[in-house]
């Protein structure tokens, strides 16, 4: 026995989504044997755009029963039936959530007419209810009203029950171990099946092939399946929009994290929240003025010639320059910590030797600046991080030059690499940013022995 169900809602996401209308047709596979249709008072405002789509407004539902009042009827008519809907996970989860709000557990086997249609009627351009009804000559009246859509879904479901190969497909879909009810309605099972159980990144794509989400995983297939089980509002909406999934192997978690970060910044996917923002970075640099005095200054990294050291914020730059001034007896004025003054008067830096007052020679002062810069350059690390490759005959690496992330690459295991130029032939250049710094900092703290220091001339 089946109950074919359609609902209209306030459209506020899954957990905040309230039902405004429900229609249920109890169907034995041949005939409709019972029906229940009702408006529902959501006990909240209905947005204007929802009214424009469905025609259901606040006045229409003002005197309608609440969900609490019709819950027993919904439980009764669906008892011992298979829950059927077009994009079943949406309707099922909204109804399940409505029951949870009043302290009732709702659990039914379910079938999705979108997934059944893709399997039993392959080759159509679209499997939306409207397009399916048009292709199959199914009458569809009162579109975007629960009863009209549910009646059309009953006719569609009846056709699917009688399609060639239906018995085997239905049996597979209803198998307790089948993932069919879990997969997004528009995602072919074959696409999910080809996902590897390996580290890498994956891309969720919509009907137009646009990347809507990028994720990373040490086991791509397992992680993707986790999205389908997740009942959070964002996950349900994202999965509903997913028509395809692509992937890239990384061989290890570190490169997967770096690949994910770069892909998010490149594609700016709709459902990725973190790492979208391109942060402004700052850097310290030096220059000589017309009087031959060497300055240390800071600016946005992209505007900085030959940066000596980079920072995430302008505050970090200033604090670092203050420490340099104290440690090397430099002048706050010539380190641009104080502007538009004739001589320095910094509240915490008091060891300036007088370059700003003409009591210290430019040569002596420049020697101190040179010492500060050399100390900074000595701290810059050159690192190669070696990791597992994408297969047994390969190893992966990440390259850091002068404390700056340069990229990652993959090497054949038999390749002899003894200098940086040879290594760069296999390097996929990447941009450093706050997120890559955070990823590498986490990795080096966790696995300090996996990084190899080297001089620029040899590895």
pLDDT value for 179: 67
pLDDT value for 14: 62
pLDDT value for 379: 62
pLDDT value for 197: 96
**For the segment 20-76, what is each residue's pLDDT rounded down to a tens digit?**
999 999 999 999 999 999 999 999 999 999 999 899 999 999 999 999 999 999 999
Report how far apart the first and last C-alpha atoms of the chain are (Å, whole number): 70
Tokens of 399: 């390259």
Name the burial class of residue 218, with classes exposed (0-12), middle (13-18) and buried (19+) by CB atoms within 10 angstroms of its CB.
middle
Residues of the chain with pLDDT under 70: 12-15, 176-179, 276-279, 378-380, 455-459
CA gap 73, 411 in Å, rounded: 65
Closest Cα partner for 425 from 445, 437, 407, 402?
A: 407
pLDDT value for 32: 96
Pairing of strands 427-429, 404-412: antiparallel
CA gap 337, 318 in Å, rounded: 7
pLDDT value for 344: 94
pLDDT value for 15: 67
Q: Which domains does the chain have, with CATH numbers?
A: 2-174 (3.30.420.10), 189-267 (3.40.1440.10), 282-377 (no CATH), 383-453 (no CATH)
Give the 3-state DSSP-derived string for the chain, with helices as H, strands as E and coil as C. Answer: CEEEEEEEECCCCCCCCCEEEEEEEEECCCCEEEEEEEECECCCCCCHHHHHHHCCCHHHHCCCCEHHHHHHHHHHHHCCCEEEECCHHHHHHHHHHHHHHCCCCCCCCEEEHHHHHHHHCCCCCCCCHHHHHHHCCCCCCCCCCHHHHHHHHHHHHHHHHCCCCHHHHHHHHHCCCCCCCCCCCCCCHHHHHCCCCCCEEEEEECCCCCEEEEEEECCHHHHHHHHHHCCCHHHHHHHHHCCEEEEEECCCHHHHHHHHHHHHHHHCCCCCCCCCCCCCCEEEEEEECCCCCEEEEEEEHHHCCCCCEEECCHHHHHHHHHHHHHHHCCCCCCCCCCCCCCCCCCCCCCCCCCHHHCCCCHHHHHHHHHHHHHHHHHHCCCEEEEEECCCCCEEEEEEEECCEEEEEEEEECCCCCCCHHHHHCCEEECCCCHHHHHHHHHHHHHCHHHEEECCCCCC
Closest Cα partner for 25 from 156, 143, 129, 124?
A: 156
């Amino acid at each position: 026995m089946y109950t074919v169900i359609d609902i209209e809602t306030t459209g506020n996401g899954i957990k905040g989504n309230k039902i405004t209308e429900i229609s249920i047709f109890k169907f034995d596979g041949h005939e409709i044997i019972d029906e229940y249709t009702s408006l529902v008072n959501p006990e909240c405002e209905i947005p204007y755009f929802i009214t424009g789509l469905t025609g259901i407004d606040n006045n229409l539902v003002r005197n309608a029963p609440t969900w609490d009042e019709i819950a027993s009827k919904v439980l009764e008519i669906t008892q011992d039936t298979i829950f059927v809907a077009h994009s079943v996970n949406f309707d099922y989860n909204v109804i399940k959530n409505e029951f949870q709000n009043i302290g009732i557990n709702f659990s039914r086997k379910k079938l999705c007419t979108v997934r059944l249609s893709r399997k039993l009627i392959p080759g159509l351009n679209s499997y939306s209810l409207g397009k399916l009804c048009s292709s199959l000559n199914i009458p569809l009246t009162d579109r975007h009203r629960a009863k009209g859509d549910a009646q059309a879904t009953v006719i569609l479901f009846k056709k699917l029950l009688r399609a060639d190969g239906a018995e085997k497909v239905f049996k597979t879909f209803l198998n307790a171990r089948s993932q069919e009810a879990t997969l997004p309605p528009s995602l072919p099972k074959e696409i999910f099946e080809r996902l590897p159980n390996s580290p890498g990144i994956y891309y969720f794509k919509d009907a137009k092939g646009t990347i809507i989400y990028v994720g990373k995983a040490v086991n791509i297939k397992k992680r993707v399946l986790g999205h389908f089980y997740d009942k959070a509002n964002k996950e349900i909406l994202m999965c509903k929009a997913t028509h395809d999934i692509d992937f890239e192997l990384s061989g290890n978690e570190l490169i997967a994290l770096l690949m994910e970060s770069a892909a998010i910044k490149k594609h700016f996917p709709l459902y990725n929240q973190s790492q979208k923002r391109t942060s402004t970075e700052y850097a310290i640099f030096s220059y000589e003025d017309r009087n031959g005095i060497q300055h240390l200054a800071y600016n946005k990294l992209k505007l900085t010639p030959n940066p000596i050291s980079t920072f995430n914020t302008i505050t970090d730059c200033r604090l670092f320059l203050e420490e340099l001034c104290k440690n090397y007896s430099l002048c706050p004025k010539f380190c641009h910590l104080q502007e538009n003054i004739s001589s320095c008067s910094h509240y915490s830096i008091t060891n300036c030797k007088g370059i700003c007052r003409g009591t210290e020679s430019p040569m002596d002062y420049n020697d101190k600046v040179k010492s500060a810069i050399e100390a900074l350059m000595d701290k810059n690390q050159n690192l190669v991080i070696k990791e597992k490759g994408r297969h047994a005959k390969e190893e992966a690496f990440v390259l850091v030059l002068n404390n700056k992330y340069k990229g990652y690459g993959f090497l054949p295991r038999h390749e002899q690499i003894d200098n940086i130029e040879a290594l760069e032939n296999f390097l996929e250049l990447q941009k450093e940013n706050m997120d890559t710094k955070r990823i590498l900092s986490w990795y080096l703290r966790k696995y300090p022995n996996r990084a190899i220091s080297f001089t620029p001339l040899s590895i």
